[in-house]
């Protein structure tokens, strides 16, 4: 039995499955669609939310270095993903790659891990979307009750000039330093985050209707947010105060992970969440018109564009205002406010771009998860209902509904900090396994045609896996504990259901 845990799926069968695609997913995506899908997923919470928060809590202006570390790891992993996606154009992303190289049990682990990545990512970003929507509506005199705009049980305080903010240790410390008595401020306890739940429900319905409609919606959102981000960078440079970059690396507080070099590493691990979009491109491989050519373009193109924009925004934002003021739900809006009343016209434009940007991220995350379910179900590791395709829309509608329903609940009750760290550690684990898989497959199957080849193997895959692991090690222990619990649940499902229904295992046993 132990030997069968590492049974691999035939690459010949995978390629034939991609070629046949009987009663399967509709092939409608071009290289441009895939690139914009990647940009749509990558550029969102990282720029509009996490950049400011990670700078305020962990790295200061050196958040730029954190982005470089994470971007380097993603570049290495992206090259590995590009080779796999061109070689095995099947929905399922790292799950499918692992099944073909490392065996069924490790494929299950990565598939279960990807559920953590995509499902929780959609919920995480929806919380950021909620923050910007609430702020945008407030500018027009429309107020959503504060108790309906944050995670269940969150304590919110009304801070002068900032409005309602979640009461955290960093916020309380900052207010005390300014001579503000936190206890004297108005307090409320949140019931649920209603706007976050709404956007997930709306985009879930869009995804059920069709992948082409979803891709077209995403294209529009990407154009809007990239244009406004470039506008923010171009205008913001003129308002940069060099003094805000000093000290560039704030002195460590005495606690590991809070500023200094350890803070830079922790910041890199936390903001890694911001880069996860490019691997979502690979989940749509079976819906690409020419996956061997288009997948590498989509993955590497979206990663390159997004990394440059991330670094530029981080430089400009921490130059406009002190990093200590950025631990808020809408840090880019704080940067615009600091430009003065003459630039107030830019504030609603930035918020519209943030709302559009975060919408596209949620869309791509909600699109990726059902396709992981689809592949695992086709292999027998999940019940057949997960691979059921809508007769008219040709989308995996049952798993889309399930994904959206769970994400709605998570978005309504959990805070962005817990969600974001869980997504980061899940993503880092997935990337590590993909990098290792490239090395394994080059040794075991050097004969397979590779339309795109990762350069400098094994150096790049090994460095990719190593940097990812270092960032995982920098994350809080609570995040590791949650990962262990999540994986334990996955093991129970595998050994009670999946191992007995595996089509690859049953096929192999039948042929003996």
The arithmetic mean of pLDDT across residues 187-210, rounded, is 86
104 with 7: CB under 8 angstroms?
Answer: yes
Return mean pLDDT, the chain.
Answer: 82
CA distances from 401 to 124, 216, 386, 497 (A): 18, 21, 10, 22
110 with 314: CB under 8 angstroms?
Answer: no
409 with 418: CB under 8 angstroms?
Answer: no
Among 266, 265, 279, CA closest to 427: 279
Separation CA 370–CA 66 (nearest Å): 31
- Identify the weakest region by mean pLDDT among 29-33, 64-68, 210-214: 210-214
Separation CA 313–CA 315 (nearest Å): 5
Separation CA 452–CA 79 (nearest Å): 9
- Identify the weakest region by mean pLDDT among 85-94, 181-190, 394-403: 85-94
188, β-bridge pairs = 156
Q: Would you kindly state where each structural domain of the chain is located, as residue ranges?
A: 8-145+192-505, 155-189
Q: Is pLDDT at 236 greater than 90 in this prediction? A: yes
| 447-461: burial string, b at 16+ Cβ within 10 Å, e else | eeebbbebeebbebb
Q: Which residues lie closer than 8 Å to 247 by C-beta, 6 or more apart?
A: 60, 61
* pLDDT for the residue numbered 452: 84
Phi, psi angle pair for 81, to nearest 5°: -60, -40
Separation CA 95–CA 372 (nearest Å): 7
CATH class of the domain at 8-145+192-505: mainly alpha
Q: How would residue 353 be classed by pLDDT, with cut points 50, 70 and 90?
A: confident
Q: Coil, helix or strand for 59? A: helix
- pLDDT tens-digit series, residues 372-401: 888 889 889 999 988 888 777 777 888 889
Helices (H), 178-276: 194-209, 211-236, 260-271
- pLDDT tens-digit series, residues 315-348: 999 999 999 888 776 788 888 888 988 888 888 8
Separation CA 356–CA 455 (nearest Å): 36
330 with 63: CB under 8 angstroms?
Answer: no
* pLDDT for the residue numbered 457: 93
- pLDDT tens-digit series, residues 473-496: 878 888 899 889 999 999 999 999
Separation CA 108–CA 490 (nearest Å): 8
* pLDDT for the residue numbered 263: 92
Residue with tokens 């205002």: 321
The arithmetic mean of pLDDT across residues 24-31, rounded, is 70
- Identify the weakest region by mean pLDDT among 18-27, 37-46, 291-300: 18-27
182 with 158: CB under 8 angstroms?
Answer: no
Separation CA 506–CA 503 (nearest Å): 5
């Amino acid at each position: 039995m132990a030997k069968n845990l590492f049974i691999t799926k035939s690459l010949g069968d995978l390629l034939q499955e991609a070629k046949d695609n009987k009663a399967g997913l509709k092939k409608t995506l071009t290289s441009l669609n895939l690139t914009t899908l990647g940009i749509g997923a990558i550029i969102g919470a990282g720029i509009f939310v996490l950049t400011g928060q990670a700078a305020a809590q962990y790295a200061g202006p050196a958040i730029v270095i954190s982005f470089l570390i994470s971007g380097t790891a993603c570049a290495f992993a992206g090259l590995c993903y590009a080779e796999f996606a061109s070689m095995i154009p099947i929905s399922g992303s790292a799950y499918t790659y692992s099944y073909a190289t490392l065996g069924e049990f490790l494929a299950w682990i990565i598939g279960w891990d990807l559920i953590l990545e995509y499902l929780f990512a959609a919920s995480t970003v929806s919380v950021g979307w909620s923050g910007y929507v609430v702020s945008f509506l407030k500018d027009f005199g429309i107020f959503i009750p504060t108790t309906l705009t944050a995670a269940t049980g969150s304590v919110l305080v009304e801070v002068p000039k900032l409005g309602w903010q979640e009461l955290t240790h960093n916020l309380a410390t900052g207010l005390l330093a300014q001579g503000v008595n936190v206890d004297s401020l108005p307090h409320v306890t949140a019931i649920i985050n209603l706007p976050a739940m709404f956007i997930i429900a709306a985009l879930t319905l869009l995804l059920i209707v069709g992948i082409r409609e979803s891709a077209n919606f995403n294209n529009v959102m990407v154009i809007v947010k990239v244009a406004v981000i470039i506008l923010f960078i171009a205008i913001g440079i003129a308002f940069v105060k060099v003094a805000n970059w000093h000290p560039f690396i704030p002195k460590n507080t005495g606690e590991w992970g809070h500023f200094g070099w350890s803070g830079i590493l922790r910041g890199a691990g936390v903001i890694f969440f911001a880069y996860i979009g490019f691997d979502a491109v690979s989940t749509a491989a079976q819906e690409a018109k020419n996956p061997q050519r288009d997948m590498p373009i989509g993955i590497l193109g979206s990663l390159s564009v997004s990394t440059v924009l991330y670094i530029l925004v981080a430089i400009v934002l921490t130059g406009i205002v002190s990093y200590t003021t950025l631990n808020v739900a809408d840090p880019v809006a704080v940067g615009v406010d600091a430009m003065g009343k003459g630039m107030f016209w830019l504030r609603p434009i930035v918020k519209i771009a943030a709302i559009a940007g975060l919408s596209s991220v949620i869309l791509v995350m909600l699109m990726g998860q059902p396709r992981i379910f689809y592949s695992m179900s086709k292999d027998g590791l999940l019940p057949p209902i997960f691979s059921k395709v809508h007769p008219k829309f040709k989308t995996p509608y049952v798993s889309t509904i399930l994904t959206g329903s769970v994400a709605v609940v998570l978005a309504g009750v959990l805070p962005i900090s817990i969600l974001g760290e869980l997504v980061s550690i899940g993503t880092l684990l997935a990337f590590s396994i993909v990098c290792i898989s490239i090395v394994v497959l080059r040794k075991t199957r050097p004969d397979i045609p590779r339309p795109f080849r990762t350069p400098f193997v094994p150096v790049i895959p090994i460095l990719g896996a190593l940097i990812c692991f270092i960032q995982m090690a920098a994350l809080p222990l609570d995040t590791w504990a949650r990962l262990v619990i999540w994986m334990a649940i996955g093991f129970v499902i595998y050994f009670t259901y999946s191992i007995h229904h595996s089509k690859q295992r049953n096929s192999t046993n039948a042929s003996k």
